[in-house]
Chains A and B, each alone.
Chain A
Amino acid sequence: MKTKCKGIIPAIAVLMVAALPVWWAIWFMIAGALIPLDELKATIGPVLGIEESGGYAYWPVLPSYPTLRPAVELLLDTPQFFTMFWNTCKLVFPQVLGQFLVGAPAAWAFSRLRFRGRTAMFAIYTILMLMPFQVMMVPSYLVADTLGLMDSIWAVILPGVFSTFPVFIMAKGFDAVPFAVLEAASLDGAGPLQTFVRIGVPLGVPGILSALVLGFLEAWNAIEQPMTFLKTRSNWPLSLFLPQIVSDKVGLAMASSLVMLAPTVLIFLFGQKYLELGIQASGLKE
């Protein structure tokens, strides 16, 4: 025990050094939203092509006089921001809900039911999960074109709903449900659907939530899909809009990137436990 205590301080020191880039980044985002525009221009102006100081960019340890003006301006005077925010929600929530409704039963079948072709089908799901968006770009384009979905939000949502990644993660989560419980349920006369809804879903919560948290993060930050399938700018989500405002309105960009981070951090704080549990279920050997 004594030797362990001796090693703990260096271990913490190493971890702190490793965590420094993360902490600095969080600080950068929070401070960025509180720093007034003229100070922003003087500090990171040089990297944004604003001729202000002519020197190198630097970052203050503390804003010289913190202000909520960019945030207020963003929330009160920028109606486009709300449109974009709403656009993002319209893309994200149906997608995540669909992933649950479609993916959870499929994952349950793969994990706890036995049927012909199970191994082969799961292999197909696993391989498809690995295909990057760029490989699926032509297929998605072809199907959106055939179904007349081009430039509609459904061209982004529907392929996301049928993504196989959530099925994979949820199936790993369901692997933790003991077969003995299922047998007991069926002896008590529960049908397959009842067993799934009453036993599978509650016990599979970590896997389901970790899949949904990952799905949310993915959809919330999606760039390629909306960029490829949404031509009308008024349908664009924040993730596409944000990089565009950087150069001319730094303060606004800083504030809105913090606002955009907020929901993900909230979901994360709530979901991290499940993410860990869900991953744990999936990380363990089958």
Chain B
Amino acid sequence: MRNSTAYLFLAPSLVGLCIFVLFPFGDMVRRSFFNTIGSRFTGLENYTSVVTNTAFQQAVTNTARFISVCIPLLLLISLVLALLVRFIRPHGKVFKTSFLIPMAVPVASIVLLWQALFHKMGIINNILACMGGTPIDFMETDAAFWVLIITYLWKNSGYTMILLLAGLDGIPSQMYEAAGVDGAGTLQKYRFITLPELFPTLLLTAVLSLLNSFKVFREAYLVAGSYPHKSIYLLQHLFNNWFLDLDLGRLSAAAVLVAAALLGLMIVLWRMWKGEDAL
């Protein structure tokens, strides 16, 4: 009885999910073993073709590099901001709003800003030149990667900060008081109370940050097009370009590989979460 009520609540979402996501996803997995028009079974041919493709290798390396740099940096910066905002409470409101605003700024405006700042003839180079430095061609060198990182941090640190603030608020103040009675210093409190207690929130935040990290493609694409500097040629660019070629077989294989990698990452995070609960 209770089961059937729950399924009724779930039905619209589940039916839609099956039609628009699960069934077509299954179809894609099937297609990844067939040739482009889906007429002939080719076994792992698509997969070998994808894995040996240099553009794919480049895109995987770049995406992995991007994620492994931007997520720890984002968590660190947001944590520092959250602690500062908490520290100056109740005056932190204006900063909370300030840091959240970039999330609402349309991608097109960011692109305008980006060009004005980071173009070869842009404002940053103007400042560099005035200070006697050598101008950097941000979009055509490895600096592009860092511009993308900065954009991501600028855009997401507010939301992440709010998530961490919520987590910090959830730590019972008695724990700090007890530690204070036992003679723990400020740093010790952060090390032995704040960080472990915040761990579940940090994991949730890491997952949501990962989700958001895929969206930097928009800025990268609108500024630099389908073939940007090779340091920011991400998996998203690759998928987009292969999609335009309608190379469904290879595209499906690549998508299955990326989905599997993300699934693996989720399982690792899940284990960490469970492990933490067991402690």
The 10 closest A-B pairs by CB, nearest first: A283-B166, A139-B24, A56-B126, A106-B13, A242-B108, A47-B119, A162-B16, A132-B214, A115-B6, A134-B239
Q: A55-B126, A239-B108 are in contact. List 16 more A-B contacts (CB 8 A).
A: A15-B85, A56-B123, A57-B126, A102-B16, A129-B211, A130-B266, A132-B258, A135-B262, A143-B19, A221-B106, A224-B236, A242-B108, A264-B104, A265-B101, A275-B162, A276-B96
Residues of the A chain whose Cβ atoms lie less than 8 Å from the Cβ of B270: 123
* Pairs across A and B, CB under 8 Å, 17 listed: A8-B88, A15-B95, A56-B126, A125-B17, A131-B262, A132-B211, A134-B258, A135-B262, A136-B21, A138-B31, A159-B20, A162-B17, A223-B222, A224-B218, A242-B106, A243-B107, A275-B100
A164 interface residue per 8 A CB criterion: yes
A12 interface residue per 8 A CB criterion: yes
Q: Which A116-147 residues have a C-beta within 8 angstroms of B?
A: 116, 118, 121, 123, 125-143
**How many residues of B are in contact with the other chain, CB < 8 A?**
93
Min C-beta distance of A268 to chain B, whole Å: 5
Q: Are B104 and A268 in contact (CB under 8 A)?
A: yes
Interface string of A38-61 (1 = CB under 8 A from B): 000000101110000001111100
Min C-beta distance of B241 to chain A, whole Å: 11
Q: Are B201 and A285 in contact (CB under 8 A)?
A: yes
B163 interface residue per 8 A CB criterion: yes
Q: Are A58 and B10 in contact (CB under 8 A)?
A: no
Min C-beta distance of A46 to chain B, whole Å: 4
A182 interface residue per 8 A CB criterion: no
What CA separation (Å) do A98 and B167 show in the bound complex?
A: 30
What CA separation (Å) do A164 and B21 show in the bound complex?
A: 10
Q: Are B87 and A11 in contact (CB under 8 A)?
A: yes
What CA separation (Å) do A267 and B101 show in the bound complex?
A: 11
Which residue in chain A gives the minimum CB-CB distance to B31?
A138
Q: Are A161 and B16 in contact (CB under 8 A)?
A: yes
Choice from B3, B126, B255 contacting A134 with Cβ under 8 Å: B255
Q: Are B81 and A15 in contact (CB under 8 A)?
A: yes
Interface string of B238-251 (1 = CB under 8 A from A): 01100100001001
A257 interface residue per 8 A CB criterion: yes
Q: Give the bracket for the number of chain A residues in contact with chain B.
A: 35 or more
Residues of the B chain whose Cβ atoms lie less than 8 Å from the Cβ of A48: 115
User: Which B positions have Cβ atoms within 8 angstroms of A?
Assistant: 2-3, 5-7, 9-10, 12-14, 16-17, 19-21, 23-25, 27-28, 31, 81, 84-85, 87-88, 91-92, 95-109, 111-113, 115-116, 119-123, 125-126, 129, 154, 159, 162-167, 169-170, 200-201, 204-205, 207, 210-211, 214, 217-218, 221-222, 235-236, 239-240, 243, 248, 251-252, 255, 258-259, 262-263, 266, 270
Q: Are A58 and B123 in contact (CB under 8 A)?
A: yes
Q: Are B210 and A130 in contact (CB under 8 A)?
A: yes
User: Which A positions have Cβ atoms within 8 angstroms of B?
Assistant: 4, 7-8, 11-12, 14-15, 18-19, 21-23, 25-26, 28-29, 32, 44, 46-48, 55-59, 101-103, 105-106, 108-110, 113-116, 118, 121, 123, 125-143, 158-159, 161-162, 164-165, 167, 192, 196, 217, 220-221, 223-224, 228, 238-239, 242-243, 246, 253-254, 257-258, 260-261, 264-265, 267-268, 272, 275-276, 279-280, 282-285
